[in-house]
């Protein structure tokens, strides 16, 4: 899903009476930007996913583990060297053998994105959806949306909300 699609999804959910509360919950948990924390660890067996676009999310500790994994780093380095080094046909053939699959680090990360966990919430949002939520909310407030203006005035008054 690209940003216009996720904004459209948020708008659709916000306009429906039964899912409006869900979007308001996300706004309270994820905005203003900087309120939600980056997903450091994930403890349950269920794979972490964005609650809006369903993208898989990679926790920071998994990325850190990958960065300390000597085998993976070596393979990744080999990939980079092979990719950027010219040379004889044999060298290029060897390079091809190494790079014919995708880059090892990319393979490890796969289609997972970085994501955030809401403040006082168990909901997760990928970075793209968090930005879409921000765009949607800003635009609604500037258009005079009474509900969201009220939500934000309350957030300012009750700073620890
Ligand atoms: Zn998402």
Digit-coded pLDDT (tens) for 117-154: 999 999 999 999 999 999 999 999 999 999 999 888 87
Confidence tier at 78 by pLDDT (50, 70, 90):
confident
Q: Is 77 helix (H, G, I), strand (E, B) or coil?
A: helix
For residue 100, pLDDT beyond 60: no
Q: Where are the beta strands (DSSP E) in 72-113?
A: none
Mean pLDDT on 77-103:
70
Domain ranges of the chain: 1-57+114-161, 59-111
- Mean pLDDT lowest for which of 30-44, 88-102, 105-119? 88-102
pTM: 0.79
> Dihedral sign, CA of 36, 39, 44, 47?
positive
116 φ, ψ to 5°? Answer: -125, 150
**Phi-psi group of 88: left, alpha or beta (phi > 0 → left; psi -120 to 50 → alpha; rest → beta):** beta
Confidence tier at 92 by pLDDT (50, 70, 90):
low
pLDDT at 111: 86
Contact yes or no for 107/99 (Cβ under 8 A) = no
Q: What separation in Å is there between the alpha carbon of 117 and the centre of ligand 1?
A: 12
Q: What separation in Å is there between the alpha carbon of 123 and the centre of ligand 1?
A: 11
> How much of the chain, in percent, has pLDDT values that exceed 70?
87
Q: What separation in Å is there between the alpha carbon of 65 and the centre of ligand 1?
A: 24
Q: What separation in Å is there between the alpha carbon of 50 and the centre of ligand 1?
A: 5
Q: What separation in Å is there between the alpha carbon of 145 and the centre of ligand 1?
A: 24
CA distances from 135 to 7, 61, 72, 87 (A): 8, 29, 37, 49
Q: What separation in Å is there between the alpha carbon of 130 and the centre of ligand 1?
A: 7
- What the block records as the tokens of 128 is 């793209």
N-terminal to C-terminal alpha carbon distance within the chain: 30
The whole-angstrom separation of Cα 70 and Cα 9 is 41
Q: What separation in Å is there between the alpha carbon of 4 and the centre of ligand 1?
A: 12
Q: What separation in Å is there between the alpha carbon of 115 and the centre of ligand 1?
A: 8
Digit-coded pLDDT (tens) for 14-42: 999 999 999 999 999 999 888 899 999 99
Q: What separation in Å is there between the alpha carbon of 87 and the centre of ligand 1?
A: 42
pLDDT at 157: 66
């Amino acid at each position: 899903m690209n940003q216009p699609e996720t904004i459209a999804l948020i708008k659709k959910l916000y306009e429906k009476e039964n899912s409006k509360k869900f979007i308001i919950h996300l706004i309270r948990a994820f905005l203003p930007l900087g309120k939600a924390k980056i997903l450091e660890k994930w403890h349950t067996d269920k794979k972490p996913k964005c609650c809006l676009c369903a993208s898989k999310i990679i926790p920071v500790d998994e990325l850190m583990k990958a960065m300390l994994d000597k085998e993976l780093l070596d393979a990744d380095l080999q990939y980079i060297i092979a990719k950027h080094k010219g040379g004889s046909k044999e060298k290029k053939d060897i390079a091809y053998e190494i790079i014919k699959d995708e880059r090892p680090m990319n393979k490890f990360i796969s289609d997972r994105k970085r994501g955030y966990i809401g403040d006082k919430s168990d909901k997760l949002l990928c970075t793209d959806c968090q930005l879409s939520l921000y765009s949607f909310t800003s635009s609604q407030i500037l258009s005079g949306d009474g509900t969201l203006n009220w939500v934000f005035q309350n957030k300012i008054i009750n700073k620890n909300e």
